[in-house]
Amino acid sequence: MYPPVSISHLVVESIEQDRHRGEGRRHDQRRALLEAPVVRLSRPNRLRAAIKNALAPDDHALTDYPCRLPDGRIGRVAVVLDQGEWTLVCRVC
């Protein structure tokens, strides 16, 4: 006959099952991210962007607050000086 099962044993077993649920999928995703090639802008495009930022710096500061862009992607809230007044806008991060 099996020993009586207590509630604490059931809770611990449930927690262990939750911890390992989807573990193989998580490992596969992590491995795919590590093996994926790094995509970067070409040197001329990076140079063009650096010159643009040096000549006309973007007067805004991104915050840590997420927001929804019109195309459905997630952006971050930025503080922008607009006609002498500071405004909060959603920007691509």
| pLDDT tens column, 15-59 | 999 888 889 999 999 999 889 887 888 899 889 888 877 776 665
Residues 62, 32, single domain; the answer is no
Of 40, 41, 81, 74, nearest in space to 57 by CA: 81
What pLDDT sits at residue 60?
64
Residue span of the structural domain in which 12 resides: 7-36
Q: SS3 of 88, please? A: strand
Q: Where are the alpha helices (DSSP H) in 23-72?
A: 23-35, 43-55
Number of domains in the chain: 2
Question: Is 13 within a domain?
Answer: yes
Confidence tier at 82 by pLDDT (50, 70, 90): confident
Report pTM: 0.36
